[in-house]
Structure 1
Amino acid sequence: MKTIQSFLFRKEGLTYILLGILLILFLFPVYWMLVTSIQNNSDLMKLPPKWLPVHLDFSSYADILSSDLFLTFYKNTLLVALGATILCILVSILSGYALSRFRFKGSSLITLLLLSAQMFPTVTLVIGLYSQYQKMHLLNTLFVLVLAATSTALPFSVMLMRTFFNGISRELEEAAEIDGAGRFRILFGVIVPLSKPGIMAIAIYTFLIAWDDFLFGLTLVTDLDKRTLSPGLSLTFLGEFSYNWSGATAAAVTATVPLLIGFLFLQRYMVEGLTAGGVKE
């Protein structure tokens, strides 16, 4: 008996040790980004590197928050993320409802194409989207970034909303039809309120995709005043011959912290939406 308890104790202890090592590996880049942002570039170039900051320097944060260019990047990113989120929610609701409630020729093919679209990495879509947006004269605008982020998040979002609508009883719609409600009134007055967890999940998912986008913001936009945070910061702080590491990490922290705080408060809606979508009634 004691041998079994000793074995279980050692196994549990080894598990915690491995989890602790993994936690350190995941959190160290975040810690190093914070440490780098509060030091000047001369201290960062010293060897061996200082794992703990010796001289605190918050001038990079002051420079970032007083930079009109950084605030422009921030504003553009916020506009693109909000626009993509709203557009993706609207299209996902309509498309998911159509695939859930209507059986028409090609509906199975559309579902298959949506699933297969998740298999391709974003970089493979850039060439096709670039040529298409060029023909539509949408390049070098914030709207093209909204469309690009929406196209990336849409397949998963449509399938998630379709799963939610499949789990809602059709009897509710039949009762609403008896009361004289039309199709759109049934959708937005009855079905959508019951799908709030799913809508919150795709809203957070789309917002994060649009906020973290780098590839589309780098290729579809050329004017610096239309850049978003990720490509804008890389082009501003990381040059060919010199690097402002302190300023780049300070900008990264400033851009990440509000998003992180918001996600900590909203993550339960994300988890609730993803798990509730898999429950069939």
Structure 2
Amino acid sequence: MSKSVMAVNKAAAAISSNPSRGKEGLTYVLLGLILIFLLFPVYWILVTSLHANSELMQLPPKWFPTNITLDSYVKTIQSSVFLTFYRNTVIVASGATVLCIIVSIFAGYALSRFRFRGSNLLTLLFLSAQMFPTVTLVIGLYSQYQSLHLLNTLYVLILASTMTALPFSIMLMRTFFNSISKELEEAAEIDGATRFKTLFTIIVPLSKPGIMAIAIYTFLIAWDDFLFGLTLVSDIDKRTLSPGLSLTFLGEYSANWSGATAAAATATIPLLIAFMFLQRYMVEGLTAGGVKE
């Protein structure tokens, strides 16, 4: 007992003699705890997907996989329903990303370069659009898309996801365009270049970090969408991953947790790997756009 007390006293003395090292150690401990807290759901999804569904009901739960089985993954990959959900999600996310980039470039450039009556008010309206929770917009969007006969189509999900990402994307592109000197456009105009040619040959290439940032941002929003996919689409062949997996594997009286987590891991892991390689572009875009205003 005396030896342990002496060890604690020595550690306390070391920390007190070097407070900066003690603060650094405490910072690493806190970061480690936060990392464990954030990664535990991912770990639990993987553990659950490697167990048979009957074993998941046992108490106490198994924190580490014992009887590992890949049956849930095999059934998921062979399921035509899952592949349909995956295909629809890729189409919706890709379409929303392309549409959001196109609209953001033109709208951001207009707000940056043109000064007209109501331009400041229009900018505030774009910013205020982010203040409303998405769930409060569903009723109005449902009525609008119903009148346009777009319900139960992939187009409605592309438009809804684009609408969600547009306010932030437009403001980010406006910030990038503000940071680019107008003298470049004037020099191009003297050389005979039109405004559109100047935009796509000079301005857009200089804004690649911002374009990459909004591309990743929009793609993730469309990929993770649950609310719009649940309310605006009712046909199973038009469902995306989030609502499709929820309605397929989780029923009112029973739930296939092993199949649901295997499908979630199969759908998420490729996106997670891609994001690991692309996250630096998003950080660069957000950082550059935040300091160049």
Q: TM-score, normalised by structure 1?
A: 0.97
> What's the counterpart of residue 277 of structure 2?
265
d(CA) in 1 for partners of 2:35 and 2:78?
35
Work out which of the two has the higher radius of gyration on C-alpha atoms and give 1 or 2. Answer: 2
d(CA) in 1 for partners of 2:276 and 2:67?
31
The question of 1:126 aligning with 2:146 is answered no
Matches within 5 A, 1:222-237: 222-237=234-249
Instruction: Look up the equivalent residue of 1:157 and give its one-letter code.
Output: S
The question of 1:68 aligning with 2:80 is answered yes
Question: Structure 1 residue 4: deviation in Å?
Answer: 4.5
**Do the aligned partners of 2:15 and 2:22 also contact (CA within 8 Å) in 1?**
no
Secondary structure at the aligned position of 2:209 is classed as helix
Give structure 2 stretches of 5+ with no counterpart: 1-12
The question of 1:138 aligning with 2:170 is answered no
RMSD of equivalent CA atoms: 1.4
Give structure 1 stretches of 5+ with no counterpart: none
Among candidates 87, 90, 94, match of residue 106 of structure 2: 94
The question of 1:44 aligning with 2:60 is answered no
Instruction: Look up the equivalent residue of 2:41 and give its one-letter code.
Output: P
Matches within 5 A, 1:100-115: 100-115=112-127
d(CA) in 2 for partners of 1:3 and 1:203?
46
> What's the counterpart of residue 58 of structure 1?
70
Q: How many residues align?
A: 281
Instruction: Look up the equivalent residue of 1:188 and give its one-letter code.
Output: F
> What's the counterpart of residue 153 of structure 1?
165
Secondary structure at the aligned position of 1:242 is classed as coil
**Do the aligned partners of 2:161 and 2:218 also contact (CA within 8 Å) in 1?**
yes
> What's the counterpart of residue 279 of structure 1?
291
d(CA) in 1 for partners of 2:287 and 2:29?
30
Q: TM-score, normalised by structure 2?
A: 0.93
Question: Structure 1 residue 105: deviation in Å?
Answer: 1.1
**Do the aligned partners of 2:249 and 2:260 also contact (CA within 8 Å) in 1?**
yes
d(CA) in 1 for partners of 2:291 and 2:41?
37
**Cα deviation per residue 1:163-213 (whole Å; 9 max; x = unaligned)?**
000000000000110111111111111100110000000000000000000
Question: Structure 1 residue 8: deviation in Å?
Answer: 3.6
Among candidates 16, 38, 41, match of residue 29 of structure 1: 41
Q: Percent identity?
A: 75
Matches within 5 A, 1:186-197: 186-197=198-209
**Do the aligned partners of 1:85 and 1:150 also contact (CA within 8 Å) in 2?**
yes
Secondary structure at the aligned position of 1:129 is classed as helix
